[in-house]
Amino acid sequence: MSLEILLKVFYGWAILLTICMVCVAATFFIHILVPKSLLKTYFKPPHFSAGEVAIFSAFPFMFMRTVMFMRIVGFPNSGKKRGLTQAYQLAPSWFRLVSKVVVGVFILASAPMFALIPYLYFGYCVVHGPC
Amino acid sequence: MTQSAPDYFEYRIKAGDSLSLIMAKFYGVGARSSNYSVYLKQIMALNPHIKDPHLIRVGSLLRLMAVPAPATAIQSAPSSPIQPFTNPFVQPSAAMCPADFGPESFVLNDVPARDELDFWMLSWLAQNSNYLVIPGSVVAGTQGNLLSGGNVRLVEQISDLYAEYKSGAITKGQYDYKRRVLLNQFKNNMGPIENWLFGNKTSHEAIRIARGGGIPATANVVRHADRLKRLASYGQHGGYVLAGVGVAASCMQIADEESRQQKNEIFVESVTSTAIGLAAGYAIGLFLVSNPVGWGTALVLAAGSAAASYGSGKFARKAYTTSGSEVDFVSGLGVDKICR
């Protein structure tokens, strides 16, 4: 493995990480736009345990709640286990579209980004000697 | 015992200081002066804990020659051992020199003794915040969120139940059953932190009606509910505080370093670990919605993402160091203007 190849892979990885960060930043903004009716109806037992409700209600885990509802709204089938397949009906169409795009882009970018981390690590060890 | 005049004094390193600046300030020796290296050697000999003259830490103490030896004399014997000092300006005391935080024999001249421990602790925190902030955020966030209003309300409902029982609205059996249901729910929500909250007792043992005279029957329950509320308020603010400490500490570390290289290394490490941590948190959120998990798996996921975040930061720093460090992020992004 040459340094040039490793550098190209690294630049690609950096681009993927940047895309992921854009999605994260977008989610911080979307957090304040999540429909209240959606949370009021579904963010409670039996869909979420009391412990989960407590954990995902305050900083910093409240943003994970937003991510969860974005996935449920954008991809309704993902809520089967929690009985949330109908939750998307309480969200406006723009929220469904935005959720689908942001979550979809994040999944497409983050999967190779995380997969490349061990490759970069071991590639670096090969080029620069034992890590 | 006769005490001679002190040969050195101690100076607390401040933000923005460098050895060059300190030498210029106290001895009028510029970086281009022919005596610069001589003075530098003398300071290094007086401060054997400093391994790299480019790396001095804000808040640590520097021994400086009270009367520097003539340059020629030093040049003639640059490696001569420094004689031990027997009479510093202030005799060190145990209270002023916490062994865990600072060099044993160092004393502070400009900080009151009562503030000394706080000072060292804050300095230590600034330098080691990475080891605290990630796990600290998880702990504080978990604590605060688990003890949020819903769970505290479960405890408070026991007082209401007792009032209903005493007023004859419910029977003893109904009261016992409902109390047990509430406490079971509370216990399940608390998970492993139940032991931490109540010591060796279970929720059922700790949250009981007071049988002793002289206090209200619900005194125990009210006391525990108040305590939980207080702990919750600490935890809920703890997440914000720790996040703020993390950012501030990284900024302080960048400000404290002299070399551009070191500043960039810290910046690269902080940004990479934060970014990977955020991405991991995002991915975990996506995973959890379709895969409800228990306490054990949740802790493994949290620990895994924290480890990935920490490891990625360290690796990014190493990669930046060995790859030539061509890009100056700190100057280019204006970080050094904010963190100074």
Report DSSP state, residue B170: S
> Model's pTM, two decimal places?
0.57
Q: What number is the ipTM of this complex?
A: 0.89
Residues in contact with B112: Cβ distance below 8 Å, sequence separation at least 6, in sequence order: none
In this complex, the residue of B276, B289, B312 whose CB is nearest that of residue A68 is B289
Q: How many CB atoms lie within 10 A of CB B317?
A: 19
Q: Are B276 and B312 in contact (CB under 8 A)?
A: yes
Chosen for mutation from A9, A17, A119, A122 (greatest number of chain B CBs closer than 10 Å) is A17
**B208 or A68, which is more confident:** A68
A and B: number of Cβ contacts within 8 A: 115
In this complex, the residue of B141, B188, B279 whose CB is nearest that of residue A61 is B141
Does residue B197 sit in helix, strand or coil?
A: helix
Chosen for mutation from B152, B183, B228, B290 (greatest number of chain A CBs closer than 10 Å) is B290
Q: How many CB atoms lie within 10 A of CB A55?
A: 22
Q: What span, in angstroms and rounded, lies between the C-alpha atoms of B165 and B167?
A: 5
B12-41: b or e for each residue (b if 16 or more CB lie within 10 Å)?
bbeeebbbbebbbebbebeeeeebbebbbe
Does residue B328 sit in helix, strand or coil?
A: coil
Q: What span, in angstroms and rounded, lies between the C-alpha atoms of B225 and B220?
A: 9
Nearest CA to B48 out of B121, B85, B124, B103 is that of B103
| Residue-level pLDDT, tens digit, chain B, 340 residues | 444 445 777 777 877 788 888 887 777 777 777 778 888 888 888 888 888 888 887 777 788 877 665 544 444 444 444 444 333 333 333 333 333 334 433 444 455 555 555 555 555 555 555 555 555 655 655 555 556 566 677 777 887 888 888 888 888 899 889 888 888 877 777 776 677 677 777 777 777 777 666 666 677 777 777 777 676 666 556 556 766 777 788 888 888 777 888 888 888 888 888 889 889 889 988 888 888 777 677 778 888 888 888 888 888 888 787 766 677 888 888 888 888 7
The dihedral over CA atoms of B32, B37, B39, B43, expressed in degrees to the nearest 10, equals 130
Nearest CA to B161 out of B147, B179, B173 is that of B179
Q: Are A78 and B293 in contact (CB under 8 A)?
A: no
Q: What span, in angstroms and rounded, lies between the C-alpha atoms of B224 and A9?
A: 56
Which tokens in the block code for residue B65? 């020659």
Q: Are B105 and B92 in contact (CB under 8 A)?
A: yes
In this complex, the residue of A55, A78, A81 whose CB is nearest that of residue B146 is A55
DSSP H or E run through B204: helix B203-206
Q: What angle do CA B118, B121, B125 make, to 5 degrees?
A: 135
Query: Is A29 touching B (CB cutoff 8 A)?
Result: no
Q: How many CB atoms lie within 10 A of CB B126?
A: 20
Helix-strand-coil split of chain B, %, nearest 5 = 65, 5, 35
Does residue B61 sit in helix, strand or coil?
A: strand
Q: How far is B273 from chain A (nearest CA, A)?
A: 12
Query: Residue B168: which region, alpha, beta or left (left: phi > 0; alpha: psi -120 to 50)?
Result: left
Q: What are the boundaries of each domain within chain B?
A: 8-99+114-119, 143-232, 257-340
The total number of structural domains in chain A stands at 1
Q: How far is B44 from chain A (nearest CA, A)?
A: 32
Residues in contact with A114: Cβ distance below 8 Å, sequence separation at least 6, in sequence order: B279, B283
CATH of domain B8-99+114-119: 3.10.450
Q: How many CB atoms lie within 10 A of CB B287?
A: 16
What is the span of the domain harbouring residue A110?
A: 3-128
Residue pointed to by tokens 């892979």: A9
Which tokens in the block code for residue A88? 């998307």
Q: Are B267 and B330 in contact (CB under 8 A)?
A: yes
